[in-house]
Amino acid sequence: MKKLIQCTVNGDEHAVLADPRDTLLELLRDRLELTGTKEGCSNGNCGTCTVLVDGEPVNACLMLAVEAPGHDIVTIEGISRGAELNPIQQALVDHGGTQCGFCTPGIVMSAKALLDAKPRPTEAEIRHAIAGNLCRCTGYDKIVRAIAAAAAVVAGE
Amino acid sequence: MTTSSPVEDKRELRVVGRRLPRVDARERVTGKAVYPADLHLRDLAHAKLLRSPYAHARIRGIDTSKAEALKGVLAVATAADFVDLPFGASVTMGEGSFDVWIVNQANMAREKVFWVGQPVAAVAAVDVHTAEEALKLIEVDYEPLPPVVDLAEAMKPDAQVLHSHVVTKGVEPAPRSPSNVCSLTTISRGDTEAAFAEAAATGEIQVKVDTAHQGYLEPPVVVAQVDPNGFATVWASTQGQFTAELMLARILGLPQSKIRVVPLEVGGAFGGKIALHGEAVAVKLSEKCGRPVRLMLSREEVLQGGTGPAAGAMIDIRVAADKDGRLTAIKGTYRVDAGGLPGMSPSLLMQASAALYQCPNLRLEGYDVVTNKPRTEAYRGPGGIQAAFAMEQAMDILCQRLDMDPLEFRKRNASVTGSLMPIGTPFPPIGLTTILEEVGRHPCWTEPLQPGKHPRGRGLALGYWRGTSMTSAAHVTIAGDGRPMVTMGPVDISGTRTAMAQVVAEEFGLSIDDVHVSTGDSKSVGYSDVAAGSRVGRTTTAALVEACADALRQLRSRAAEKLQSRPEDVAYANGVFRAPGGAAISLSELMAATLGEGAIVGRGVSTRLPLGVEIGAHVCDVEVDPGTGQVTVLRYTAFQDVGRALNPPAVEGQMQGSVVQGLGWALTEGFDYGPDGRLRNASLLDYRIPTALDVPPIDCVIIETPVPNVPYGVRGVGEVPIVPVAGAVANAVARAIGVRVLQMPMTPERVLNAMHAGMPS
Amino acid sequence: MREFAYERPDSIASAVQLMQKPDARPLAGGTDLIPQMREGRRTAGLVIDLKGVGELTAIEDLPDGGLAIGAAASASAIARHARVLADYPAIASSVRLIGSVQVQSRASLGGNICNAAPSADGVPALICYRARARIAGPEGTREVEIEDVFAGPGRTTLKPGELLAAIVLPPPQPRSAAHYHRFTPRREMDIAVAGAGTWISLDEQGRISDARIALASVAPTPLRAQAAKKRLIGEAPSRALLEEAGRLASADVRPISDTRGSADYRRTLVSVLTARALAVCCRSLGVEVDVP
């Protein structure tokens, strides 16, 4: 039995039919065609599907679509306006923090949750915040530097 | 070292070698980059594969009738839907050939299954849930056979044989009975036994290496659509659109002109996306149901036999030196676990492990062995890290016996330009001595290791990888505004578009922003081999230098006409053509004026480019917790000669990513197979890829010894930085705790066991 | 995944009523349940989302000075709660070990308990603080000690139709401290190979007046190390004492060998982790004991 789901994604209201078995990830990617959120394991073990739910980072594969109503959901598509990049995105571009790019949207979302909660994180705090986001290309170094640089930009330094 | 510097080196470079951001970074950080899973086609059907639950079984029959009858099921396929290719069938690909019998077996099992997870049937349905339900309705009649899981067991003369037609190659006279040993490779010179008898010291080690996975984050995904005329378009995450097309044509029995493979963004590959993983199945299902079909592997499928991991191995090494620390003998036995289908000859990894040492006596023997585990695939310098884990420890043991500094030992025995490689040919120009001198000057080596809470150690290891060249094609057209538009054959898995935009900008004297680079599909650009073997940057650079020259030649003759001069008198620099009298026309003016004269198409192809062998040295500091056995990597420095870094951040990214992959395999990543051949850790929770908290920042030292007669002197980059990692870590661990850990990954439990076993009772 | 219906009740009463349907299963954070249903390891005909019930996600002060943590409250909410941080810091630090930051945004302590994995990182600290489980059922509410909820791997003592409603913590005790120490090959994003939760209180003379040790991943259920506890009581902390407690704890365990570690390795780890966790407790109470 499909259910009608009313949800708010990137500030837009949507009403979509979903199977109770569908995860939030399937809702976003298949129904709303917001494919920036990636599917890497469907088990909460890789972080490629990280989105923000009421400001907190969440694996979209570990949440059912039917759980979405009443929450403010933000995906990678919702954090930059037009051609203007969010400072985290810009820093990843500038510091070589993206290679194959598959983990990148999830990393951006985890970093955003971190900087929203803690504007000047230490390197250890950055590494902790993205420990749930596996990256197989970069060895993390340039990502960590990029997030630190973005924090400095946001803080106006 | 005297090298004939290529002409290109003498000019001032303006774009090549600069620290520029990736040209495709913006679409990646915004989530706009398109991977195959992101395609939304109307009427898309969803496919799922039924996989073998047995590691070894005969298939007596498959009944798909109940699945076909399920509402929502659109098509079902089994091996009967593909061409039955005989053992030994092959297809020519570029300079090599590919065994398509193997491709076919991996695509869909026929009479037998050889590993848990081998595909046996497939379903396309209106949604994934229905496809999964349908799989449960397919009845496969299996006759289970005893699985041969262990490598050493598989090599025994009385072992259950997987393939009744496989007879060991490389043995004279040819054996009469089949064997799980598919080939024996021998590389030999001098007299090792005599050298051991006279040695002042020897070092020996016997190691085991667990199978590990490439661990790309994007599971293989394919979307296939067969149009009403039977023309198939395949959107894939692949390292080679042309090789995929050749394999598809052969196992589907289709002419190549009926297939187009479109490579989309690749979410990590590392050698693991050269083979097919369901592309042929998706085409067949689409042909049957008349709708586009998407086949997406789950992470569990990726790990449990749906894709090929890297080979496990058992390696014995013995080395000897005289009293001055000069190496006199290297003896090695390399047994490589290919999984369920015959693998590659171990020749390259055998050579790699011994290549960096000048040694008069050498005896290396390599065995390619099949077992009832997933057939293996390439992973970043295939076999290199396994072999170096053994060899670099044997060298370190020898240093300890000689009481000699490990760097000094390497300096004394280092291969140099012209010294003999293991196969007997002289080395092209290499910079190993330069690398070792850099190590000796660097703080990572000169600063003493600070004491910590737990025992600490520092390790050094070297790595070599030969790489390959093969074929890369590209063409450059010129847009109406005079800007170069590049279509290249090789797939971009390492930032190739950016580096090639730099090369083309350099050749045209333009800015990188003036150049657009994309990878073509298998029908829009010349045949190019797979993006693998550290070949793409070098060969595509060569192809593009040629293509740019071709385009400029065509442009120059148009310019000559406009400037009323002769082409040979027209000079070109930085976007402007000048005649001797001073008359000039810019590229954009020229194109605007000659737009109607047909396309400018500069073509280039690189084949048989001189090799750009890769050499690196790594230094690693570790701390070992004697209570838990956990190894913490405190500091890591990688030195590498890259010939010339076209884009230094991309080079660093390759090095850092490689090192962290190596750290994963060295310490936490290994497949754990049960006696039934089932993988017990088929998730990213229990298959432990390092997180950001598990690794230190990786320092990179880039050294540039250009390769002669290669444009910009570029070497391979991407493979060698994984090769020395486990050896460096192992040497550091051994120096911290005083014992050797003989199995990789060196998990905390194995480290602790080694410490307890090594302790005097 | 098998088809199921989904309900989101807004009171405990209606949640309990829905739980009376056959094949009903409560959903809190879903970080265990959703992948288990996908893999067919657990099934449900009806999934009851508890997060619509305010009481089940609340963290509330109790009149006796204790604290009630709603079974569906997220690990993140628990870890940043001022009372938890002040009075039950070992709970805050141990729920921060569950999965990743993303998992902690969803995962609940109630789910960590009811999933009943012997490796559950949230549980040993609760046992150390003498937490009780408040269970709601058709006949009303009952309370049991947390450790009595566990029946075996993946199984609890909750009766069909019952729900875990809250974790009830007694008021904090003076001059006491708890710590949970686990071992995983990766620093985070991993499952405990073994874990040791310890709690001690000191008397005026600085001797251990009471102790509790709860071990994870070394038996079918979380395990109390009684011999080690007895050895500690009445003694002044020293390295030799803590290490002996560790050895005694490891003698009590009944681990299995699996892909995460052998039984022998788990025994060794328990000994080391127990001593180290005890040393952290001592340090929190101003007593430095150097346990390597």
- Largest interatomic CA distance in chain A: 54
Best of A64, A75, A103, A112 to substitute, by most chain C Cβ atoms within 10 angstroms, is A64
Chain C residues inside the 8 Å CB shell of A21: 1, 3-4, 37
Outline where DSSP puts E strands in B442-483: 456-465, 472-478
Which is nearest to A49 in space by CA: B31, B24, B303? B31
Residue B476: is its pLDDT beyond 70?
Answer: yes
Arithmetic mean of pLDDT, A35-53: 98
pLDDT of residue B758: 83
Chain B residues inside the 8 Å CB shell of A101: 24, 27-29, 33, 265, 267
Residues B186-237 pLDDT 10s: 999 999 999 999 999 999 999 999 999 999 999 999 999 999 999 999 999 9
User: Which of A102, A134, A140 has its CB closest to that of B684?
Assistant: A134
DSSP three-state, residue B95: coil
User: Cβ of C102 and A59 within 8 Å?
Assistant: yes
User: Cβ of B265 and A100 within 8 Å?
Assistant: yes
Residue B390: is its pLDDT beyond 80?
Answer: yes
Q: How big is the CA angle at B275 (ends B282 and A26), to the nearest 5 degrees?
A: 50
- Largest interatomic CA distance in chain C: 62
pLDDT of residue B92: 79
Residues B5-15 pLDDT 10s: 344 455 789 99
Distance separating alpha carbons of residues B293 and B291, to the nearest angstrom:
6
Residue with tokens 């490796």: C119
Distance, CA of B383 to chain centre: 10
DSSP three-state, residue C292: coil
Number of helices (H), then strands (E), belonging to chain B: the values are 20, 29
Sign of CA dihedral B546, B550, B555, B556: positive
pLDDT of residue B94: 65
B window 80-119, beta carbon within 8 A of A: none
pLDDT grade for B391, boundaries at 50, 70 and 90: very high
Residue B3: is its pLDDT beyond 70?
Answer: no
Residue ranges of chain B whose CB lies within 8 Å of a chain C CB: 129, 132, 300, 453-454, 626-628, 630, 667-668, 672, 680-681, 685-686, 688, 690-691, 693-694, 747-749, 752-753
Arithmetic mean of pLDDT, B108-125: 98
Best of A58, A109, A134 to substitute, by most chain C Cβ atoms within 10 angstroms, is A58
pTM: 0.97
User: Which of A41, A76, A139 has its CB closest to that of B695?
Assistant: A139
Residue B761: is its pLDDT beyond 50?
Answer: no
Distance separating alpha carbons of residues C178 and C284, to the nearest angstrom:
9
Contact between A125 and A104 under an 8 Å Cβ cutoff? The reply is no
- Largest interatomic CA distance in chain B: 93
Distance separating alpha carbons of residues B733 and B750, to the nearest angstrom:
12
Q: What separation, in Å, do the N-terminal and C-terminal C-alpha atoms of chain A show?
A: 54
pLDDT of residue B10: 57
Mean pLDDT of chain C: 97
Q: Which chains touch C (3 or more CB pairs under 8 A)?
A: A, B
Please give the backbone phi and psi of residue B414, each rounded to the nearest 5 degrees, phi first.
Answer: -65, 140
ipTM above 0.90, yes or no: yes
DSSP three-state, residue A124: helix
pLDDT grade for A110, boundaries at 50, 70 and 90: very high
Q: How big is the CA angle at B275 (ends B271 and B277), to the nearest 5 degrees?
A: 115
Burial class for B434, CB neighbours closer than 10 Å (0-12, 13-18, 19+):
middle
Residues C152-176 pLDDT 10s: 999 999 999 999 999 999 999 999 9
User: Cβ of B37 and A134 within 8 Å?
Assistant: no
Residues B639-649 pLDDT 10s: 999 999 999 99
Chain A residues inside the 8 Å CB shell of C188: 128, 131-132
* Cβ-based neighbours of B638, under 8 Å, separated by 6 or more: B616, B617, B618, B655, B656, B659, B698, B699, B700, B701, B721
Arithmetic mean of pLDDT, A58-76: 97
User: Cβ of B681 and C259 within 8 Å?
Assistant: yes
Residue in chain C closest to B689 (alpha carbons) equals C186
C257 to chain A, any CB pair closer than 8 A? The answer is no
User: Cβ of A23 and C6 within 8 Å?
Assistant: no
Name beta bridge partners: B123.
Answer: B48, B76
User: Which of A36, A48, A92 has its CB closest to that of B217?
Assistant: A48
B330 to chain A, any CB pair closer than 8 A? The answer is no
pLDDT grade for B91, boundaries at 50, 70 and 90: confident
Please give the backbone phi and psi of residue A44, each rounded to the nearest 5 degrees, phi first.
Answer: 75, 15
pLDDT of residue B162: 97
User: Cβ of A140 and B493 within 8 Å?
Assistant: no
User: Cβ of B657 and A138 within 8 Å?
Assistant: yes
DSSP three-state, residue C228: helix
Chain C residues inside the 8 Å CB shell of A47: 100, 102
C window 24-53, beta carbon within 8 A of B: 39
pLDDT grade for B760, boundaries at 50, 70 and 90: low
Arithmetic mean of pLDDT, B316-335: 98
Please give the backbone phi and psi of residue B226, each rounded to the nearest 5 degrees, phi first.
Answer: -105, 120
Report the share of chain A in percent with pLDDT over 70.
100
pLDDT of residue A119: 95
Contact between C193 and C183 under an 8 Å Cβ cutoff? The reply is yes
Arithmetic mean of pLDDT, C121-136: 98
Taking 3-state DSSP, the helix, strand and coil percentages for chain C, each rounded to the nearest 5, stand at 35, 25, 40
Residue C242: is its pLDDT beyond 50?
Answer: yes
User: Cβ of A140 and B650 within 8 Å?
Assistant: no
Q: How big is the CA angle at A56 (ends A54 and A57), to the nearest 5 degrees?
A: 130
A9 to chain B, any CB pair closer than 8 A? The answer is no
On the CB side of A122, CA atoms within 13 Å amount to 4
Structure tokens at B111: 């009479």
Residue in chain B closest to C290 (alpha carbons) equals B453
On the CB side of B435, CA atoms within 13 Å amount to 32
User: Which of C3, C30, C188 has its CB closest to that of A64?
Assistant: C30
User: Cβ of C39 and B300 within 8 Å?
Assistant: yes
Mean pLDDT of chain B: 96
Chain A residues inside the 8 Å CB shell of C29: 62
User: Which of B300, B628, B685 has its CB closest to that of C272?
Assistant: B628
Distance separating alpha carbons of residues B17 and B643, to the nearest angstrom:
11
CA of B722, closest CA in chain C: separation in Å? 20
C window 88-117, beta carbon within 8 A of A: 99-103, 105-106
User: Cβ of A93 and B267 within 8 Å?
Assistant: no
The more confidently predicted of residues B11 and C252 is: C252
Report the share of chain A in percent with pLDDT over 90.
92
pLDDT grade for B50, boundaries at 50, 70 and 90: very high
Residue with tokens 């949750």: A113
Best of A21, A141, A142, A143 to substitute, by most chain B Cβ atoms within 10 angstroms, is A141
CB atoms within 10 A of CB C130: 16
Residue C249: is its pLDDT beyond 50?
Answer: yes
pLDDT of residue B6: 40
Structure tokens at B283: 């085409």
Cα separation values, B597 from B480, B554, B576, B578, B600, Å: 12, 11, 19, 21, 9
Distance separating alpha carbons of residues B597 and B607, to the nearest angstrom:
31
Residue B450: is its pLDDT beyond 70?
Answer: yes
Count Cβ neighbours within 10 Å for each residue of A110-142 and write b for 16 or more, e otherwise: bbbbbbeeeeebeeebbbbbbbbbbbbbbbbbb
Arithmetic mean of pLDDT, A117-139: 98
Arithmetic mean of pLDDT, B716-722: 97
Q: Bin B660: left if φ > 0, else alpha if -120 < ψ < 50, else beta.
A: alpha
Report the share of chain B in percent with pLDDT over 70.
98
Chain A residues inside the 8 Å CB shell of B40: 33, 35
Residues B394-405 pLDDT 10s: 999 999 999 999
User: Cβ of C1 and B667 within 8 Å?
Assistant: no
Name beta bridge partners: B232.
Answer: B226, B259
User: Which of C188, C265, C276 has its CB closest to that of B693?
Assistant: C188
C46-49 and C5-7 beta bridge pairing? parallel
B window 2-21, beta carbon within 8 A of A: 21
Residue in chain C closest to A43 (alpha carbons) equals C35
CA of B688, closest CA in chain A: separation in Å? 10
C205 to chain B, any CB pair closer than 8 A? The answer is no
Contact between B241 and A127 under an 8 Å Cβ cutoff? The reply is no
pLDDT of residue B344: 87
Chain C residues inside the 8 Å CB shell of A23: 34
Distance, CA of B286 to chain centre: 30
Taking 3-state DSSP, the helix, strand and coil percentages for chain A, each rounded to the nearest 5, stand at 40, 20, 45
* Cβ-based neighbours of A152, under 8 Å, separated by 6 or more: none
Residues B401-426 pLDDT 10s: 999 999 999 999 999 999 999 999 99
Distance separating alpha carbons of residues A80 and A84, to the nearest angstrom:
6
Residue with tokens 């080979």: B311
Residue with tokens 């709860």: C214
Structure tokens at B254: 């289709």
C7 to chain A, any CB pair closer than 8 A? The answer is no
pLDDT of residue B1: 31
pLDDT grade for B95, boundaries at 50, 70 and 90: low
**Residues recorded for chain C:** 292
CA of C6, closest CA in chain B: separation in Å? 17
Q: How big is the CA angle at B364 (ends B376 and B638), to the nearest 5 degrees?
A: 65
B60 to chain A, any CB pair closer than 8 A? The answer is no
Burial class for B573, CB neighbours closer than 10 Å (0-12, 13-18, 19+):
exposed
Residue ranges of chain A whose CB lies within 8 Å of a chain C CB: 1, 3, 19-21, 23, 42-45, 47, 50, 53, 56-59, 61-64, 66-67, 110, 113, 128-129, 131-133
Best of B129, B130, B304, B628 to substitute, by most chain C Cβ atoms within 10 angstroms, is B628
Taking 3-state DSSP, the helix, strand and coil percentages for chain B, each rounded to the nearest 5, stand at 30, 25, 45
